[in-house]
Amino acid sequence: MAESLSEPLPRRPSDTQRPLQGSVTSHGTLAVYEPGSGRLVGEVRVSTPAQVREATAAARAAQKGWAAKSIKERGRVLSRFEQLVLDRADGIADLLVRENGKTRNEALFMEVLPVADLTYWFARKAERLLRDERIPLHMFPHKKSYLRFYPRGVIGIISPWNYPLSIPAGDVVMALMAGNGVVLKPSEFTPLVAERLRALLEEAGVPRGLVQVVHGKGDVGAELIKSGVNMVVFTGSVATGRKVNVAAAEQMIPCVLELGGKDPAIVLPDADLDATALKVAWGAFANSGQTCASVERVYVHESIAPQLTEKLVKIAQGLRQGEPNSYDVDVGAMTTQMQVDIVKRHLDDARAKGAKVLAGGEVKVYPDGGRFVQPTVLTNVTHEMALMRDETFGPLLPIMTFRTDEEAVRLANDSPYGLSAYVFTRDKAKATGSPTSSSPGR
Ligand code: NDP
């Protein structure tokens, strides 16, 4: 069985010994440092390929008994997990803040409470969702045909660092309610939250061994796909998703891919500007912009562009950014240096090509490891700039104007990504019925 440690190892590396966040230390662990301050949070042991295979075998052994329980019984266990998440909300939020760098409010309202909520829903609705579905056979009225759902066995879940609790927890809860075992491979940057998730599930009554957590970098994720799991559920970047898709095909197992986005917001002339500005700013700056469905670019009708821009600049300038472990901070830290580098590259490229920075624009990386990107509003942007077409995954909000609905749709579609899209208007029929509501790309 894979060994992992949720508490810090006794030895704390000195500053000179400190390995890079997310890299494997000389003693075979991943060390996690607070993105807001650089303080050590904890370490986990990296899993070997043999341990990954053992984890899958152990989850399979435990799955047989779990699948034999009724959905109601499984639901009772998961409901206890939901209650534990609520009872321990503060402690879980604390770990999320320390490991990921999001603010306490974001940890509570975008991770902890949604996990309790989704567990509440699945624990009660799974029986209805999973019951037999009758398939009418029009030509053969004397025969009966059903679609029946069986557990697949063991589900391999590979998850990213930006929502280290809510993304894997949703996948784990669904897999468990359907009678499966799970092997979870969290991001190398956020392994400790995954360990807390497993511990809470076991405390709630999930049989020991049914949910396994393996640790390491991408190679451990690749081992997991080959380890005998019956299905892969992956959330992450398009580049890695492509590799996961190929690797799952080689194993002849199904995979679910939830990938990146470059989500546009289109603001039509009749939009309520105060409400739009607040929603767009939240969409762009929450979680420091490190959200797959973030508002990554705004297209606003030229007639209202000056007013909306002014409101967005004011909001961005009023946001309080800093050490995230406080209720007085609106925007926290960037989780990884790798992401800071991408955001900086997009910002530098935009500036070099003539973009105007109206708010923010500073990237602050402190010697102790704390790293922040200011909530930034830009105008004078074009589609020649990387920040209008590639996923930025940071708190940059570029604003571009349009004259006609067709132009807005064409610009929104001009990106290889497609995940979500937002339309702001008082005309509901226009928002939902026009091509502006269809998301482009992958
Ligand atoms: P990555 O694709 O870099 O990593 C995702 C996971 O895959 C990590 O656990 C990673 O491990 C693992 N991994 C890396 N290489 C392989 C491989 N060859 N085989 C199997 N697993 C591998 O994404 P990030 O963690 O950087 O997350 C950010 C991305 O996730 C963004 O693009 C974002 O848009 C997307 N995302 C999509 C969501 C959605 O619902 N559509 C939601 C949230 C994020 P390790 O980190 O250890 O390398």
Q: How far is the CA of 268 from the centre of ligand 1 (A)?
A: 34
| Partners of residue 267 on adjacent β-strands | 300, 424
Q: Which residue's C-alpha comes closest to atom 13 of ligand 1?
A: 218
User: Which residue, judged by its Cα, is nearest atom 16 of ligand 1?
Assistant: 218
Residues of the chain under the 70 pLDDT cut:
1-19, 434-442
For residues 371-385, b (16+ Cβ closer than 10 Å) or e, as one string?
Answer: bbbbbbbbbebeeeb
Give 68 Cα–ligand 1 centroid separation in angstroms: 33
What pLDDT does 25 receive? 83
Strand partners, 31: 43
What pTM, to 2 d.p., does this model score?
0.92
Confidence (pLDDT) at 434: 58
258 is written with which tokens? 């939830």
pLDDT score, position 140: 85
Give me the catalytic one of 34, 111, 223, 292.
292
Q: What is the DSSP-derived secondary structure letter of residue 437?
A: G
DSSP string spanning 156-206? EEE--SSSTTHHHHHHHHHHHHTT-EEEEE--TT-HHHHHHHHHHHHHHTP
pLDDT at 38: 85
Cα–Cα–Cα angle for 340, 343, 348, nearest 5°? Answer: 120
Whole-number pLDDT of residue 439: 47
Is 292 considered catalytic here? yes
Helices assigned H by DSSP within 252-318: 273-285, 305-318
**How many C-alpha atoms does 400 have within 13 Å on its Cβ side?**
25
Q: Considering 54, 127, 202, 258, which one is annotated as catalytic?
A: 258
CA-nearest residue for atom 40, ligand 1, is 258
pLDDT score for 325: 85
Tokens matching residue 411: 């610009």
CA 350–ligand 1 middle distance (angstroms): 26
Q: If you measure from the C-alpha of residue 160 to the centroid of ligand 1, how many angstroms do you get, rounded to a whole number? A: 4
The residues, any chain, with a CB within 8 Å of residue 387's CB and separated by 6 or more, are: 296, 297, 346, 347, 349, 350, 355, 378, 381, 396, 398
Residues in the ligand 1 pocket, defined by CB under 6 Å = 158-163, 167, 185, 187-188, 217-218, 221-222, 235-237, 240, 243-244, 258-261, 292, 391, 393, 419
* Cα 251 to middle of ligand 1, angstroms: 20
CB 410 within 8 A of CB 266: no
Instruction: Give every strand in the sheet of 422-424, ordered side by side.
Output: 356-359, 376-379, 396-402, 297-301, 264-267, 422-424
Which atom number of ligand 1 is nearest to the Cα of residue 163? 43
Backbone angles phi, psi at 363, to 5 degrees: -110, 120
